[in-house]
Amino acid sequence: MTTITDLVGIKSELDALATSTKSAQQLMAGIVTLLHDRLPKYNWVGFYMMENGGESSMLVLGPFQGAPTPHTQIPLNEGICGAAASSGETVVVDDVNSDPRYLACSLETKSEIVVPIFAHGKVVGELDIDSHAPAAFTDEDRQLVEHCAHLVGDRLEKSGR
């Protein structure tokens, strides 16, 4: 089981990653690897980034760890991913099979969290995590994943995006 102490340790490793990586892409690749490898209930961890802008915006799969997903592009009006990006709010779903918005990636997935990433006040992407455990994502998980999203948003702002 993951303890609060583990989460605090992971948070400082994430902060170290944010200073040691040379690009937003490297930072995102490091985050998905760290979260996936260190937190056993984080079975699929991936970024979706906003492309195009305006009404034709799409979420496009970025760095991820876990089984390949058929959902490499998601319109803003589809899925839990689309809901988080279009509302700008974190979405936590304890039982994906009872949520009509859910786009299935794996039959094993039971719960999901999606956290939007902001740069210059706009949603530029999101961090999506799936778990094989029902109701896997607690308030502590939410804080950790929101912290990751802030690190990436800050990096994108600094790199001029």
Interface ranges with ligand SME (CB under 6 A): 44, 46, 69, 71, 74, 79-81, 102-103, 105, 112, 128, 130
Residue 7 CA neighbour count, 13 Å, CB half: 18
- Extract the tokens encoding 62: 């970025």
Provide the minimum distance between the beta carbon of 112 and ligand SME in the complex, in angstroms, as a whole number. 6
Burial of 137 (0-12, 13-18, 19+ CB in 10 A): buried
Q: In the complex with ligand SME, which residue's Cβ is closer, 91 or 124?
A: 91
Q: In the complex with ligand SME, which residue's Cβ is closer, 34 or 80?
A: 80
Which residue's C-beta sits nearest to ligand SME? 79
Q: In the complex with ligand SME, which residue's Cβ is closer, 14 or 128?
A: 128
Burial of 52 (0-12, 13-18, 19+ CB in 10 A): exposed
Provide the minimum distance between the beta carbon of 44 and ligand SME in the complex, in angstroms, as a whole number. 6
Q: Please count the residues of the chain.
A: 161
